[in-house]
Amino acid sequence: MGTQIRQRPDGGIGFVTDSTAEEVASFGGIFRGMKIAKVAIAGVAATTGGALFSWANPEGQTIIISRFQIDITTKSTGAATGDFGVAANGTTTSDILIDGYALGGTEKVVDTALTADLGTNGKVNQKMTASQFITGTGAATTAGLVGSVYIHYYLA
């Protein structure tokens, strides 16, 4: 009984037990854990849950949202605020990622890494089950808004 060192296809190495052929430790290689999804957003008149955007968990298992960004390339023509968060479905409002951000303020990147952008209820590192969604909802019309959201996540 012993342990072998094997090179993995990604260039890293793994320590594999002789008895079970199980990799017990690995080093190096390409990190494939973090994923980033980009979703386009465009302003709408509707203020119903998920009207601004809705993104379903594509992984089929629980993920952890480690960072959420909104790249506002053209601000909303009105004074709407927006809520973004993990919700039970694609038509429910949630504000647990970013709460009440002024979408008509300025063109900028809004980021959960910046405490000032979180709002009252916003938090980082949110779990999202396989059946949940991230939704974006305006408190008033978000007409004129153009941008993208970036969802940074990894498998739980």
Q: Which domains are seen in the chain, by residue range?
A: 1-32 (no CATH), 35-155 (2.60.120)
Reported as a pLDDT band with limits 50, 70 and 90, residue 49 is: very high
Q: Give the mean pLDDT of 51-80.
A: 94
Reported as a pLDDT band with limits 50, 70 and 90, residue 1 is: low
pLDDT at 100: 94
* The pLDDT of residue 86 is above 70: yes
SS3 track for the chain? CCEEEEECCCCCEEEEECCCCCEEEEECCCCCCCEEEEEEEECCCCCCCCCCEEEECCCCCCEEEEEEEEEEEECCCCCCEEEEEEECCCCCCCCCCEEEEECCCCCCEEECCCHHHHCCCCCCCEEECCCCEEEEEECCCCCCCEEEEEEEEEEC
Comparing 2-16, 41-55, 60-74, the range with the smallest average pLDDT is 2-16
